[in-house]
Amino acid sequence: MCATHPRRWNRFAALCAHRTPSQSICLPHSDSQVGSSGQETGALSAHGVCSVLISLAARTASLFMCGSSGQWCRPARRALCPASPSAAVLVKCLLVSACDSVALAMCAGEENWVDSRTIYVGHREPPPGAEAYIPQRHPDNRIVSSKYTFWNFIPKNLFEQFRRIANFYFLIIFLVQLIIDTPTSPVTSGLPLFFVITVTAIKQGYEDWLRHKADNAMNQCPVHFIQHGKLVRKQSRKLRVGDIVMVKEDETFPCDLIFLSSSRGDGTCHVTTASLDGESSHKTHYAVQDTKGFHTEEDIDGLHATIECEQPQPDLYKFVGRINVYSDRSDPVVRPLGSENLLLRGATLKNTEKVFGVAIYTGMETKMALNYQSKSQKRSAVEKSMNVFLIVYLCILISKALINTVLKYVWQSEPFRDEPWYNQKTESERQRNLLLRALTDFLAFMVLFNYIIPVSMYVTVEMQKFLGSYFITWDEEMFDEDTGEGPLVNTSDLNEELGQVEYIFTDKTGTLTENNMEFKECCIEGHVYVPHAVCNGQVLPGAAGIDMIDSSPGPGAREREELFFRALCLCHTIQVKDDDDVDGPRKSPDGGKSCVYISSSPDEVALVEGVQRLGFTYLRLKDGYMEILNRENGVERFELLEILSFDSVRRRMSVIVKSITGEIYLFCKGADSSIFPRVIEGKVDQIRARVERNAVEGLRTLCVAYKRLTPEDYEGICTLLQAAKVALQDREKKLAEAYEQIEKDLILLGATAVEDRLQEKAADTIEALQKAGIKVWVLTGDKMETAAATCYACRLFRRGTQLLELTTKRLEEQSLHDVLFELSKTVLRHSGSLTRDNFSGLSADLQDFGLIIDGAALSLVMKPREDGSGGNYRELFLEICRNCSAVLCCRMAPLQKAQIVKLIKLSKEHPITLAIGDGANDVSMILEAHVGIGVIGKEGRQAARNSDYAVPKFKHLKKMLLVHGHFYYIRISELVQYFFYKNVCFIFPQFLYQFFCGFSQQTLYDTAYLTLYNISFTSLPILLYSLMEQHVSIDTLRREPSLYRDIAKNALLRWRVFIYWTLLGVFDALVFFFGAYFMFENTTVTSNGQIVTTNTHMIFGNWTFGTLVFTVMVFTVTLKLALDTHYWTWINHFVIWGSLLFYVVFSLLWGGIIWPFLSYQRMYYVFIQMLSSGPAWLVIILLVTVSLLPDVLKKVLCRQLWPSATERIQSTNLRASVAAGTERPLLKDLLPRPRRR
């Protein structure tokens, strides 16, 4: 750390006085970085110490005094001490770092503080007079997606697994068995726990090994970078921030790069980001304006520039930075950098020979690596119920242990009662403290009864969810042939939650509609223009020009028309698709000009294609000029000066262009609510009327306006925009403020109307969901009339629906308080309480209400009142919504969509919510809802990436919920209840047995049976059941959506059902135990005439009694599962009967052989002896029958007297199946067929 060169010390002193707080001090590692030699030594002098302390004080003061200016203070450049430094450099460095740490900690909360980094392109120092060169440390380019290493796998994996409550509980039980004298062997708890931990560790270890392999392949990939004007090849992991990299066509970018130049003359390149966000379309990126002309290695190597940018963050679509390009001039050229200049690691270069870029984020700081982190975990209602039940059984376990401990000491307190001779304690144990002895006995009983907590339930549930998710992805009916896409499962933890949805919040454009826009008409100054007939987007031969549907526009109309059409041709961000590396128009078959347009917004493509049919064709953007073809086939060129990009808050976009004649125009297009308030001239009333008429017909409308700019106006705009663009802090906010100042005083030109067709079967899907008792809300940014027309088209609103409006227009006439109370009285007077139980989507005896609310009104509802209370209006609003069959929220901003979802999710009923959308503006509500579903649409894959599930079309939501959700909820609910039931059957006889053995903690079952009951004898049948059970057919669920209501509100995991299963387990346990007990009391029953004692009767011992109880139990719990199975295949038969056969074979082998590794042979010949008794067979059959009788009676009586809708359908289907002789499906019908894409 000790720096010994004068030049190095001078630079360090300068750094202390001049560096920004975001820059870190790091001394160079080698002499080659400073280019000096020589060595000086010295001692730490008083002068040096005083000098550095004074400078530190001054620096600290400057840091604290800079807050109000918005920039960090930069004192004049000076040395902190004499040029010949001493060994005090180390101390000075430490003091400077300490001072900065305190100052930065104090200033970190300041509004103007910027957390950024400075990068030196090519590791070159800036020219003299520029900023001091500050070498910085950044991670190398290694990607580490793996979780473990060879050395930390075992401890880290064990730590993670034992954070789960169930695993930690069994670990404690196992340790207790090791510490104290317990009635069961530690193997009985340790072996199942070891099995669960080992299986999980192997699975996680294998997955991590695959990640290691992928990381090594990625890190060793060769990369070309420039060094001293030449191309050098090295491994990807050796790249550093600041390196200049060359990437060729079809290669993947090795790190996050700032795009400097490309082989294309216009300084652009095309990339695909399929590995990042799944989008296969080509995206256009732009090189830095001042470097795009550097095409050779020598040119790039001579570049002197620094880049200031934000610290790494995971948002793939956001980047803020600026580049300072140094030349012979004294001041550097400063250019803003945005996401369009950033080439992301993982993206692939397309249609471009090569590009040059400088590395700014490497390794684990790249956006791809930062996105490895998973989204916050969502927990399903079933998982929450399972944890509650677990706590209940834990309380039962503690109660059992406490009762037995107390009764043991009560029993021993009676005269002449002591522990049996075979359970006597030593003298030291007898003299132990009574409390300590009681605690030991309590723990021993806890160990004895601990099997009531199912050790393998969590593993089985995880396997069921993981394997079950494949049935969704394999579903060929949810595969869309047009897009070649199928359903995606991003998380398998919420499969069962799909069967509990009560509210669906859906986007409109691209979700309910096709997002396939078609230009219908335009209105210019109140006059309507319609293009001629169009077939598949092409003008029909012989048809050209415009149809007028109203009176002649009058004089001057042609000039206004052409200005309007030019505005549509210029105000967009469309790229013209390359065809054989040639930009621009292509000849169509009819001899006209046609182009293939690419844009992230289908609206823009529809408008440009529509205006093409009206006589104006957009050709290309080349060398900063936009070219259009006018009606006279003349090419017009406009210089593109500025683009004011669209955002969902402003709801508009603008361009500033300059014509060849020097006229400067600002063209603006956007929503009517965004344009009309900024207009000062134009036929607003006529155009507004036409816009509203088109909206009522369900057409998407946009308004177009413009204004002319003087050179002075444009110069002021440039200054304003440049200041906002180069800002590193709050750039988006400053740009929005700048746009507000620029986009005003406009002249209204006209409006457009575009049709977005409803998706196939969208109306049928919504109707089915409403019949299932699910409330559907539409959340959209469109205007009210357009959205309402779509709601009528998709049958969300019906002809008899009474619409209630809570909109800005109404609030102008009445106060929010009056409107809410009026709406509340209306719905309560006519419909009473419209709950899920009586809601059917179309009720004959109740008035059907629909609510329409816009974003501005919602803001007022959500806004806290002046007295600080914000809940009154919200509760009133929620009460109105509860009594409406459908709700339409229009003019919604993305965050407002999330607010709506959160408001419903946190209401007092706590309903399960689902949000579905296709665009980036839907991500917030998708993340907020209990279940988020993304539609793989035309607006990118951001929604699909951030969702829990993804579907190709909205219509697939019907099967996702009504079939898959229905099945998985029933399967997982049965699995959970069955696990607790079979463990009650298992442990309750053990509890009863203590009353007959003096509470001596004697176990009823053999150690092998204790160990294998949950992990071998009874685990596989329930796992298969939870994967394949279909209580009704798929066609029935699709045909009868109302069956979804039978499982609503966690119906199968309510306390009533839970208590039934628990009591059923207690009843069966009583039958097992006392049935076997009475058999043993009756000596005539136990005599078999083969083994004769002195009393001529065979005396069964303790292990025979326990084996008999265990045998009846295994057969009962397995056959109960068989009784509950409705969907039989040969796989079910194989697993269920195979499990019983496995138990019998295991018992024969376990008791038929003397195992030399066992210290006891208490089970030798027990099972064979029991089966040799004919009465024992009779008792087994009798007890199994009696145990299953209550379940059979319940099924019969309930189906006859109080059948549910599902049971009525089951009976109908059974009769039809018997009458038709329908056969069960074969295995080939259950497994997926290969999908052809």
Q: Is 468 annotated as contributing to ligand binding?
A: no
The alpha carbon of residue 661 and the mean position of all alpha carbons in its chain are separated, in whole angstroms, by 52
Per the listing, tokens 């599930």 go with: 949
User: Are both 734 and 842 inside the same structural domain?
Assistant: no
**CA 83 to each of CA 3, 11, 35: distance values in angstroms, whole numbers, following the listed order:** 13, 10, 17
- Find the mean pLDDT for residues 1094-1117: 76
Is position 669 annotated in a ligand binding site?
yes
Q: Is 231 exposed, middle or buried (0-12, 13-18, 19+ CB in 10 A)?
A: exposed
Model confidence at 194, pLDDT cuts 50, 70, 90, reads confident
Q: What is the pLDDT of residue 438?
A: 85
Q: What is the pLDDT of residues 696-707, one digit of tens each?
A: 888 888 999 999
- As a whole number of Å, the CA-based R_g of the chain is 38
The pLDDT-based confidence of 244 (bands split at 50, 70, 90) is very high
Provide, rounded to the nearest whole percent, the portion of the chain with pLDDT above 90: 25
Tokens encoding 891: 């003019």
Spatial separation of the C-alpha atoms in residues 645 and 572, rounded to whole Å: 9
In terms of domains, do 909 and 976 share one? no
Which pLDDT value is given to residue 979?
A: 92
Q: How many CB atoms lie within 10 A of CB 865?
A: 12
Give the residue, 1104 or 843, on which the prediction is more confident.
1104
Confidence of residue 421 (pLDDT cuts 50, 70, 90): low
Domain shared by 843 and 948, yes or no: yes
Give pLDDT tens digits for 796-835: 888 778 888 888 878 776 777 778 888 887 777 765 544 4
Sorting pLDDT into bands at 50, 70 and 90, what band is 172? confident
Give the active site residue among 277, 441, 507, 948.
507
DSSP conformation class of 480: B
**Amino acid in position 969:** Y
507 annotated as a binding-site residue: yes
User: pLDDT band at 563, cuts 50/70/90?
Assistant: very high
Place of tokens 């009635």: 183
pLDDT in tens, 106-133: 444 444 445 788 888 888 877 665 666 6
**Tens digits of residue pLDDT in 1124-1181:** 998 888 898 999 999 999 999 998 888 777 766 666 667 777 888 888 877 788 889 9
My answer on whether 1019 and 1164 are in the same domain is: yes
In eight-state DSSP terms, residue 964 is I
The answer, yes or no, to whether residue 1183 has pLDDT greater than 90, is: yes
Average pLDDT, the chain: 78
Task: Answer yes or no: do 578 and 706 share one domain.
Answer: yes
Flag whether 319 is marked binding.
no
For residue 178, count other CB atoms closer than 10 A to its CB. Answer: 11
Strands 886-890 and 775-779: parallel
Share of the chain above pLDDT 70, in %: 77
Tens-place pLDDT, residues 981-1026? 999 999 999 999 988 888 888 888 888 888 888 888 998 999 999 9
CA 139 from centroid of its chain's CA atoms: 28
Q: Where are the alpha helices (DSSP H) in 750-783?
A: 762-771
428: which DSSP letter? H
pLDDT at 419: 62
Q: Is 184 annotated as a binding residue?
A: no
Q: What is the pLDDT of residue 376?
A: 58
- 579 and 716 belong to one structural domain: yes
932 annotated binding-site participant: no
Task: Please say whether the beta carbons of 585 and 593 come within 8 A.
Answer: yes
Residue 252 sits in a domain whose CATH number is 2.70.150.10
Binning pLDDT at 50, 70 and 90, where does residue 637 land? very high
Q: Is the pLDDT reported for residue 1 higher than 50?
A: no
Residue 39 confidence (pLDDT) above 60: no
Q: Are 64 and 109 in contact (CB under 8 A)?
A: no
> Do residues 601 and 937 make contact, with C-beta atoms less than 8 angstroms apart?
no
Adjacent-strand bridge partners of 235: 222
CB 1002 within 8 A of CB 408: no
Of 40-44, 121-125, 279-283, the range with the highest mean pLDDT is 121-125
Question: Is there a domain that residue 771 lies in?
Answer: yes
pLDDT of residue 1091: 38
Domain count across the chain: 5
Among 63, 82, 113, which residue terminates a domain?
113
Q: In 1083-1173, where does DSSP find H-type helix?
A: 1083-1086, 1102-1124, 1130-1152, 1166-1171
- Which is more confidently placed, 844 or 514? 514
How deeply is 812 buried, as exposed, middle or buried, from its count of CB atoms within 10 A (0-12, 13-18, 19+)? exposed
**Whole-number pLDDT of residue 714:** 92
Contact 595, 569 (CB under 8 A): no
pLDDT interval class at 480 (50, 70, 90): confident
pLDDT single digits (tens) 202-215: 878 887 888 888 88
Q: Which of 904, 1051, 868 is nearest to 974 (CA)?
A: 1051
Nearest CA to 694 among 477, 520, 946? 520
Pair 678, 805 in one domain: no
Q: Which domain holds residue 974?
A: 457-468+963-1230
839-1032-497-850 Cα dihedral, nearest 10 degrees: -20
Q: Is 415 helix (H, G, I), strand (E, B) or coil?
A: coil
Q: Are residues 725 and 771 in the same domain?
A: no
Q: Which two tokens stand for residue 662?
A: 């020097």
Is residue 110 annotated as involved in ligand binding?
A: no
| Structure confidence at residue 1218 (pLDDT) | 63
Long-range contacts of 390-393 (CB under 8 A, 24+ apart): 390/165, 390/166, 390/453, 392/1058, 393/452, 393/453, 393/980, 393/983
On whether residue 150 sits in a domain, the answer given is: no
Residue with tokens 């199942």: 192
Find out whether 642 is annotated in a ligand binding site. no
Whole-angstrom Cα distance, residue 566 to residue 554? Answer: 20
Q: Which residues are CB-contacts of 966 (< 8 A; sequence separation ≥ 6)?
A: 499, 1037, 1043, 1044, 1047
Nearest to 509, CA basis, from 315, 610, 648: 648
Same domain, 572 and 715: yes
CA of 898: how far to CAs of 497, 796, 892, 927, 1090, in Å?
A: 19, 21, 10, 8, 77
Domain boundary among 370, 392, 420: 370
Torsion of the alpha carbons at 253, 256, 261 and 263, rounded to the nearest 10 = 10
pLDDT of 537 > 50? The answer is no
Helices 1174-1201 and 1055-1081 cross at an angle (nearest 10°) of 150
- β-sheet bridge partners, residue 268: 286
1176 Cα distance to chain centroid: 57
Range 372-379, long-range pairs (CB < 8 A, 24+ positions): 372/145, 373/314, 375/927, 375/946, 376/927, 377/493, 378/491, 378/493, 378/494, 378/497, 378/930, 378/931, 378/948, 379/493
Q: Is residue 981 part of a domain?
A: yes
Only one residue has tokens 């619409």, namely 803
Instruction: Please state, in angstroms and rounded to a whole number, the distance separating the CA atoms of residues 356 and 260.
Output: 6
Which residue from 863, 921, 566 is spatially nearest to 708, judged by alpha carbons?
566
Q: Which helix (H) or strand (E) holds 505?
A: strand 503-506
In contact, 159 and 201? CB cutoff 8 Å: no
User: Which comes out higher in pLDDT, residue 304 or 66?
Assistant: 304
What's the pLDDT score for residue 887?
A: 92
For residue 82, being part of any structural domain is answered with yes
Whether the pLDDT of residue 1123 is over 80: the answer is: yes
**Domain end residue (candidates: 902, 933, 952):** 952
**243 annotated ligand-binding residue:** no
- Placement of tokens 């042939």 in the chain: 481
782 is in an annotated binding site: yes
Asked if 1070 and 1195 sit in the same domain, the reply is yes
In this structure, are residues 443 and 1022 in contact, taking their beta carbons and an 8 Å threshold? no
Whether 1037 maps to a domain, the answer reads: yes
Comparing CA positions, the residue from 1118, 995, 1125, 978 lying closest to residue 1062 is: 978
Please say if the pLDDT value at position 82 is more than 70: no
Residue 1188: pLDDT band (50, 70, 90) is very high
Which structure tokens are listed for 1144?
A: 């019998």
Could you report how far apart the first and last alpha carbons of the chain are, in Å?
Answer: 60
Q: How many CB atoms lie within 10 A of CB 94?
A: 11
- Altogether, the residues listed in the chain come to a count of 1237
**Residue 434 is assigned to a structural domain of this protein:** no
Question: What pLDDT is stored for residue 1221 in this prediction?
Answer: 61
What SS3 class is residue 188? helix
Torsion region of 796: left, alpha or beta (phi above 0 gives left; psi -120 to 50 gives alpha)? alpha
Per-residue pLDDT band at 382 (split at 50, 70, 90)? confident
Residues 931, 1044 within the same domain: no
DSSP assignment letter at 495: T
Range of lowest pLDDT (756-765, 809-818, 841-850): 841-850
pLDDT in tens, 497-514: 999 999 999 998 888 888
| Distance in angstroms (rounded) separating the CA atoms of residues 1237 and 830 | 53
Contact 1024, 1122 (CB under 8 A): no
State the burial class of residue 33 (Cβ atoms within 10 Å of its Cβ: 0-12, 13-18, 19+). middle
897 is in an annotated binding site: yes
Beta bridge partners, 488, equal: 950
Separation of alpha carbons 1004 and 1102, rounded Å = 7
Pull the structure tokens for residue 558.
């042609």
Q: Are residues 835 and 979 in the same domain?
A: no
DSSP string, 885-905: SEEEEES--HHHHHHHHHHHH
Whether residue 1069 is contained in a domain is answered as yes
CATH number at residue 933: 3.40.50.1000
Active site (annotated) includes residue 1035: no
Q: Report the range out of 545-549, 663-667, 720-724 with the highest average pLDDT.
A: 663-667
**731 marked as part of a ligand binding site:** no
Strands 575-576 and 597-598: antiparallel
Helices of type H across 965-1101 = 966-993, 1007-1012, 1019-1028, 1034-1039, 1055-1081, 1083-1086
Selection from 780, 775, 784 nearest residue 803 by Cα: 784
| pLDDT higher than 60, residue 1202 | yes
**Per mean pLDDT, which range of 352-356, 541-545, 714-718 is the poorest?**
541-545
Range 531-539 contact pairs with CB under 8 angstroms and sequence separation of 24 or more: 531/610, 531/613, 531/614, 532/613, 534/613, 537/609, 538/588, 538/590, 538/594, 539/590, 539/592, 539/613
The burial class, CB within 10 Å (0-12 / 13-18 / 19+), for 1202 is exposed
Most confidently predicted of 100-109, 797-806, 948-957: 948-957
Residue 470 is inside which H or E element, if any?
Answer: helix 457-473
Mean pLDDT of 774-781: 91
Q: Model confidence at 575, in pLDDT bands (50, 70, 90)?
A: confident
Residue 612 inside a domain? The answer is: yes
604 is in an annotated binding site: yes
